Amino acid sequence: MGGKILKRYSPMVAIDVATKEAASSLFDQLTVEPRPILKIGMELYYHFGPEVIKAAQQRGFKIFLDLKLHDIPNTVKRTMFVLGQLGVDFTTIHAAGGSEMVAAGAAGLRAGAAAAGLPAPRLLAITQLTSIDEATLHKEQHVGLSLVESVQSYARLAEDAGADGVVCSAQEVQAIRQVTRPEFLCVTPGIRPQNAAKGDQKRVVTPGQARALGSNAIVVGRPITQSADPVKAYRQIEHDFLEGED
Ligand SMILES: O=C(O)c1cc(=O)[nH]c(=O)n1[C@@H]1O[C@H](COP(=O)(O)O)[C@@H](O)[C@H]1O
């Protein structure tokens, strides 16, 4: 398992907090080596905009800007043009918006980065959120495919439309690898160390399982940010993912 993996990133830490002070405190604490990638999501970005990204970049962090765009292709393309100018390393779009929307988003993102003279961020397509389980997929989304088939199908769509990878659960990584090129990234949230509270996450794995299943990167929020010692929690998760669970 995991033999084919071409690249593994340091854990991506989701800074899902409400204030600049809380964000800043986590930035300070997480200034360790190997440096995590910081995920700035809707909560912080809607509050503080590009300023919060700059604050993290100034401390040397790579940024995953997770705004999960999902709209008509023209709107997504124009918005991605703006995000392409921020100097972030990863950003997200919903595969459920369709291939035309993902292709428009990819074009907008790359054009925005080129206009700013920056490298293009990696575009990751959300497949099925890790808070969705098989029952919800069938009963609420009325999808006839199994969860893994749905994720696999979105991964093919995303790759064909020009995305660099997907966001999925590590539980689906092996199925995705069967239908995508080896460089295609599988970034996996829904990470819970043994005995950690699942909260709203449904498709969870441990950091060591994510490694064994071939994730390129794990996204971890509350198990680090709500821990009494975020640095200790990060170091353990980073060790389990990059080196393997003891
Ligand atoms: O796009 C994401 O990062 C994402 C996709 C997904 O399917 N599931 C998911 O949990 N996430 C994000 O990953 C983070 C997980 O946080 P925790 O559940 O606290 O570890 C949150 O910031 C979510 O927004």
Residue 76 Cα to ligand 1 middle (Å): 21
Residue 190 Cα to ligand 1 middle (Å): 6
Looking up tokens 């033999």 gives 3
Mean of per-residue pLDDT scores for the chain:
96
User: Could you tell me if the ipTM is greater than 0.85?
Assistant: yes
pLDDT tens per residue, range 173-225 = 999 999 999 999 999 999 999 999 999 999 999 999 999 999 999 999 999 99
Domain boundaries, the chain: 12-242
Peptide bond into 34 cis (omega under 30): yes
| Ligand 1 pocket at CB < 6 A | 14, 16, 39, 41, 66, 92, 126, 129-130, 167, 189-190, 199, 201, 219-223
pLDDT tens per residue, range 130-164 = 999 999 999 999 999 999 999 999 999 999 999 99
Sorting pLDDT into bands at 50, 70 and 90, what band is 4? low
Q: What is the CATH number of domain 12-242?
A: 3.20.20.70
Query: Is 66 annotated in some ligand binding site?
Result: yes
pLDDT tens per residue, range 106-129 = 999 999 999 999 999 999 999 999
pLDDT for the residue numbered 57: 97
Task: Tell me the pTM.
Answer: 0.97
